Amino acid sequence: MKVVIIKYNAGNIFSVDYALRRLGVEATISGDADIIKSADKVIFPGVGEAETTMNYLREHGLDNVIKNLTQPTLGICIGMQLLCKSSEEGGIVECLGIFDEVVKKFVPNESIIKVPHMGWNTVTADPSSPLFKNLINDPYFYYVHSYHATVGKDTIATTDYINQYSAALHKDNFYAVQFHPEKSGKVGEQLLKNFLEL
Amino acid sequence: MLAKRIIPCLDIKDGQTVKGVNFVNIRSVGDPVELGAEYSRLGADELVFLDITASHEGRKTFKDLVRRIAENISIPFTVGGGIHEIGDVDALLCAGADKVSINSAAIKNPDLISEVAKGFGSQVCTVAIDAKLDESGEWTCYLNGGRVATDKKLFAWAKEAQERGAGEILFTSMNHDGVKQGFANDALRVLSESLSIPVIASGGAGKMEHFKDVFTEGKADAALAASIFHFHEIAIPDLKKYLRDEGIPMRIV
């Protein structure tokens, strides 16, 4: 199985590579359209800012490459947000539009004042989703983010922090998670394994 | 619900853990990777590795170690110690650290916080503050592991660090550190309620009740401890079950 991690101007893509190696998978890290298109599985990870990363994807023609992928593809963190319709980060940034959801900034309320949402939070998932198979109910995953995707028809898991938002999305061959499975211990490993087995 | 975090801290010298750590389940207790993996297995939510090496050679060893930690451990970890400039931060993040903790260098050069936040995002930038409550009732910040007093005061400095882009504050009370009589809950509560970024409490853990108090009275988002974990005075699984039973949101593995 050929797994490609999309290389672009976002940080933290190596920790996904390390996590895959712990599962015995040697992934290719590449920003080359042909290599990405030829993969059996594509992972679109990263930590970064929406406008800067979208501009980079467009300049390098990766926006169309990603939109036209037909193999199982997993967006992680900013990867998930870029697969949504638009993001409030950096104005209103048009994103890849795989999912209809929009990405909004957390607005602190009276009881929760801390943003970013940082740490381990519970994820309530659709039990029939293959991405969440063999996991306990409401597992804890590790999050670091200040923006979140709204809840809609493609939502397969939610988390509550200030408001309820999409912890995971799924449409056709596209899967996406807001949390970091590569940093979420055993449950994160199981989720990555589930994705690799799709 | 967002869980409160329990964070063991490991001191590293020349690539090895210091303090006579004694663990039965692991082959080499001196190896930070093995010890970190064991803490991860026991349910630690994050790990902090502090490099206390003075030599240039030791620094290189630490960077290699950070890479091995990133390869082998599947929970987030912060590294600190010996960070003077943005290049040090870049090297440690490239080696695979999730966050860096900046202490003396941030006080000497507050612009470093802004540079790190702008270059890599606030989420990687933990500002560590060592402070002592003096006789006049003020919390004074110290440099160089608590050896040199500064003119910075805890609450104002923490606020400034936040405004400059810190993603988290790690506050160690020098009055409470090593005494094992509980955390500096009054100061922690003021910090936590006045900041919009998470606060990690450090210094004073002696028994399980102290952790309950630091989360309820001190309003801390996370609690860090070293020796009580290293010397098995408190086992992390027992601590987390106790805290969960006390109604504190905890991730149990």
Q: Indicate the SS3 state at residue A42.
A: strand
Which residues on chain A are in Cβ contact (under 8 Å) with B122? Answer: 116
- Residues B91-119 have a mean pLDDT of 93
Q: Which residues of chain A have pLDDT under 50?
A: none
Interatomic CA distance for residues A9 and A46, integer angstroms: 9
Interatomic CA distance for residues A136 and B111, integer angstroms: 45
Which residues on chain B are in Cβ contact (under 8 Å) with A141? Answer: none
Amino acid occupying residue A120: W
pLDDT score recorded for residue B19? 60
Interatomic CA distance for residues B34 and B45, integer angstroms: 16
Asked if the Cβ–Cβ distance from A140 to B1 is below 8 Å, we say: no
- Residues B153-158 have a mean pLDDT of 98
A10 within 8 A of A45, measured Cβ to Cβ = yes
Which tops the pLDDT comparison, A115 or B75?
B75
Q: Model confidence over B9-66: pLDDT tens digits? A: 998 888 888 764 545 555 556 789 999 999 999 999 999 999 987 677 777 788 999 9
Active-site residue, selected from the candidate residues B51, B88, B98, B130: B130
Nearest 5 degrees, angle CA B174-CA B146-CA B122? 85
Class of domain B5-245: alpha beta
- Residues B113-138 have a mean pLDDT of 92
pLDDT score recorded for residue B20? 47
Which tops the pLDDT comparison, A110 or B203?
B203
- Residues B70-80 have a mean pLDDT of 96
Comparing CB atoms, the residue among B93, B221, B253 nearest residue A186 is: B253
Q: Is A61 on the interface with B (CB under 8 A)?
A: no
Class of domain A3-196: alpha beta
Tell which B residues from 139 to 168 touch A, by Cβ distance under 8 Å. Answer: 167-168
Q: Model confidence over A76-85: pLDDT tens digits? A: 999 999 999 9
The residue in chain B having the minimum alpha-carbon distance to the alpha carbon of residue A185 is B74
The set of residues, in sequence order, having a beta carbon less than 8 Å from that of A74 and lying 6+ positions away, is A41, A42, A43, A44, A175, A176, A177, A195
pLDDT score recorded for residue B28? 56
Least confident interval from B15-19, B103-107, B213-217: B15-19
User: Which DSSP helix (H) or strand (E) runs through B216?
Assistant: helix B208-216
**Radius of gyration (C-alpha) of chain B in whole angstroms:** 17
- Residues B205-228 have a mean pLDDT of 96
Asked if the Cβ–Cβ distance from A188 to B74 is below 8 Å, we say: yes
pLDDT score recorded for residue A15? 92
Q: What residues does each domain of chain A span?
A: 3-196
pLDDT score recorded for residue B120? 86
Residue with tokens 């490239």: B94
pLDDT score recorded for residue B25? 53
The set of residues, in sequence order, having a beta carbon less than 8 Å from that of A64 and lying 6+ positions away, is none
Q: What residues does each domain of chain B span?
A: 5-245
> Would you state the structure tokens that stand for residue A34, as one six-digit string?
């042909």
